[in-house]
Structure 1
Amino acid sequence: MRDPVVRAELRRASVWFGLAIGVALVVLLIQPLLIIFAGLVFASMLDGGVRLLGKALPIPRGLRLVIVVLLVLAFIVGVFYLTGVQISQQANELRATLEGQGDRVVNWISSLGIMPGRSDLSGILQQALGSVGRLTSAVGSVIGAGASLVMVMAIGLFVAIEPRLYERGLQWMVPIEGRDQFALTLGRMARTLRVLLAGRLLGMVFEGALTFVLLWFAGVPMALLLGILTGMLAFIPNVGAFVSGVLMVSVGFSAGTDQGFWAIMIYFGVQTFDGYVLLPLVAKRTVDMPPALTLSAQILASTLFGVMGLALADPMVAMLKVALESEAERAANAGKDGNAPRRFGWRLRQNATLETASASMDSQRGG
């Protein structure tokens, strides 16, 4: 154990063992980690609202946070109080409409001989849903989803009350020589997340309100519920837009051919304006992620982590991209200075050489 080469190799082995243990812990604790990350996302939303309110009201941060939380609660309670009965009725109608439209599509495809019968299809779907795994089934539980939502809101509220405290706590977990760079990267990630979520919320409000107004003018039934669902699904890019389009078209054609074509035109009109006007404006101030990258991340996250992974895939990719860009900038600056080692093995060999020299000096003194 006193051999410096053995010590250096043991240090290297401990790094690999530590990485393996870390990966195993992430796999076992992925659901709580996702809840914590969702709480950080919610805290970023609250922090963004507090910062925006601070530009108009020069009052302490705590009062601004209370105002933001009260405004959010007032909006949610007001919407459900004014339209709760209507939303409940339209939800039941939407379920019956989607079941009827689904039966029509399945019967039409089965008549063409392309798809098996409905009984066989139900068995296939049950097998497919049963093979997803524990994570997806846990997320699909209503009670589990409600408890997770409460924990997400609690974590986000506590972090938003005093974010500097948690930032300092994260910095203390980093070696001293890397804390400055880590603080810079953490600040960039927080700002990117705030701007990304602000743009996402803006898109949600715009898509939901515009969809409701246009569907109501076109005479499509359940316009209010479809507008709310479209706004909520806009938080998940690509996948959310596709699901909201399927819902609109299905409900539109259930009321008639004219309403169905109006639903198609409204869907493409809203998505075109959102994709070519609103999103480019938001992308100029935040991380511009290619659609293929976002969709690939959503597919992987939904397969591994279920519905919650699908909803959080975009923020996770944005933060990873900012972290990689900061690391590339740090490496470029270190390369210009010429002071930092470029290989991990260089430091190990240097430590082993110093230990060998120290052991040699000790032996000479002992002799």
Structure 2
Amino acid sequence: MHDVDDKFKSRVSFTLLAIAALALAVFLIWIGRVIFLLLFASAIGAILLTTVSNWLHSRFKIKQGLALALFLCVTFAVTALVVWSQGPNIVQQFADLETDLPVAAHSLLTQMRSQQWGQWILRQSPGSEQISSGFSFALTRIGGIVVSSATILAGLVIVFSLSIYFSAEPEMYYNGIRRAVPEEYRGKMDACAASVAQILRWWVLAKLISMTLVGALISIGLWIVGVPLAGTLGIIAAVMTFIPNVGPLISVIPAALLALAISPTKGLLALLVFAIVFTIEGYVVTPLLERNIVRLPPALTLTMQLLLAAVAGPVGVALAAPVAAAILGILSVLLPKAPDVPVPTSKRVA
């Protein structure tokens, strides 16, 4: 009887300790949720750097450490050259954007008030004066948000630094995590890690190609149309392409405002440029690239963006797509592949 009581007490104690440990882990994850997302972004960067160093290692028969150092040196040299030659011009364009956006917003509101259709839209809105004034104030902050990037720059520096550390010695960091997993589950963990790395590798490469193409085409198209600061707007469009669903919509706003401030015709032409470029990116480039990567269902990506936006804010929105890709990679290993079942449709009753 005494032994039974001791076993019961030990089980209760173990259960309470497990619950307390789980609650503490959830609490720490919640407190450091942004940090964990930055670590996840660093892991993505490490996967990209490792892919490049592995390619250089196999192509030129040099050590992986030397290949990584060579790639980083070339990257730093090219970045320094671009900053030295084009940095002042880029900074000046972003400063001009910060000044021109509020002017464009007020010009657009003035044009709306001078037109019957604009007056009708403002009259239909409850508290139109407050809405228009708030709209103007919000737009005056867009340039500041774009230019005041100290926090974003600090986060990028942290992510890039950690990516270098992770890619220099990936086995050491991975084996450290692996030791915390029970031995019987390590094989499954290795399979999940390999699947996630493969999916994220192709996802990042495809996304970089899409971003480069979108930025170049938007810059060229806006320059042809005659929209000012076309290069800066192209950079914004390229960066925002990293964020599915939300990013392209955000990138349209400053270009449309600057173009509409000149004339409605230029505004329509600017919108047409964005529509054509993102149509090419969505229906031509991405399907070709997705032959080698997992296709992320748009509904899943949007759901993950909403969830992570509530949890971690803008950082969560930016990393929602790779998080969804990683989850799909894990599920592809843990869940057996089931045969596709056709979706039942309602039959027409004669």
Instruction: Check whether the contact 1:48–1:198 (CA below 8 A) recurs between aligned residues.
Output: no
Shift of 1:185: 0.8
Structure-2 separation of matches of 1:296 and 1:277: 24
Find the partner of 2:183 among 167, 176, 187. 176
Structure-2 separation of matches of 1:292 and 1:155: 31
Residue 205 of structure 1 aligns with which residue?
212
Shift of 1:206: 0.9
Find the partner of 1:28 among 22, 25, 31. 31
Residue 153 of structure 1 aligns with which residue?
160
Instruction: Check whether the contact 1:47–1:194 (CA below 8 A) recurs between aligned residues.
Output: no
Find the partner of 2:63 among 42, 57, 60. 60
Letter in 2 for 1:217: I
Between stretches 229-238 and 64-73, larger displacement belongs to 64-73
- TM-score under structure 2 length normalisation: 0.81
Find the partner of 1:191 among 194, 198, 204. 198
Instruction: Check whether the contact 1:215–1:223 (CA below 8 A) recurs between aligned residues.
Output: yes
Shift of 1:176: 0.6
Q: How does 1:7-86 map to 2 (within 5 A)?
A: 7-86=10-89
Letter in 1 for 2:188: Q
Residue 97 of structure 1 aligns with which residue?
100
Letter in 2 for 1:37: F
Instruction: Check whether the contact 1:97–1:254 (CA below 8 A) recurs between aligned residues.
Output: no
1:88 aligns with 2:91: yes
Residue 270 of structure 1 aligns with which residue?
277
Change (3 A) 1:325 1:17: farther
Structure-1 separation of matches of 2:32 and 2:10: 32
Change (3 A) 1:206 1:146: closer
Structure-1 separation of matches of 2:191 and 2:27: 29
Q: How does 1:305-320 map to 2 (within 5 A)?
A: 305-320=312-327
Shift of 1:244: 1.2
Give unpaired runs (5+ residues) of structure 2: 113-117, 138-146, 339-350
Change (3 A) 1:272 1:145: closer
1:112 aligns with 2:119: no
Choose 1 or 2 for highest CA Rg: 1
Change (3 A) 1:305 1:265: same
Between stretches 225-234 and 82-91, larger displacement belongs to 82-91
- TM-score under structure 1 length normalisation: 0.78
Structure-2 separation of matches of 1:54 and 1:76: 23
Letter in 2 for 1:186: A
Q: Cα deviation per residue 1:95-143 (whole Å; 9 max; x = unaligned)?
A: 23321333355664784240435557777999xxxxxxxxxxxxx9855
Q: Cα deviation per residue 1:289-342 (whole Å; 9 max; x = unaligned)?
A: 111211221122123212222211111111112112222139x9xxxxxxxxxx
Number of matched pairs = 319
1:326 aligns with 2:326: no
Residue 219 of structure 1 aligns with which residue?
226
Instruction: Check whether the contact 1:297–1:314 (CA below 8 A) recurs between aligned residues.
Output: yes
User: What's the secondary structure of 1:173's corresponding residue?
Assistant: coil
Q: Cα deviation per residue 1:226-254 (whole Å; 9 max; x = unaligned)?
A: 11111111111111111112222222223
Shift of 1:31: 2.8
Give unpaired runs (5+ residues) of structure 1: 127-139, 333-367
Structure-2 separation of matches of 1:125 and 1:93: 17
Letter in 1 for 2:68: L
Structure-2 separation of matches of 1:122 and 1:44: 46
Instruction: Give % identity.
Output: 28
Letter in 1 for 2:322: P
Change (3 A) 1:17 1:167: same
Residue 137 of structure 1 aligns with which residue?
none
Structure-2 separation of matches of 1:312 and 1:143: 19
Letter in 2 for 1:232: V
Q: Cα deviation per residue 1:4-28 (whole Å; 9 max; x = unaligned)?
A: 3444454444433332221111111
Instruction: Check whether the contact 2:108–2:261 (CA below 8 A) recurs between aligned residues.
Output: no
User: What's the secondary structure of 1:230's corresponding residue?
Assistant: helix
Structure-2 separation of matches of 1:57 and 1:234: 33
Between stretches 51-60 and 3-12, larger displacement belongs to 3-12
Structure-1 separation of matches of 2:41 and 2:297: 23
Q: Cα deviation per residue 1:175-229 (whole Å; 9 max; x = unaligned)?
A: 0111111111111111211111111111111111121122222222111111111
Letter in 1 for 2:166: V
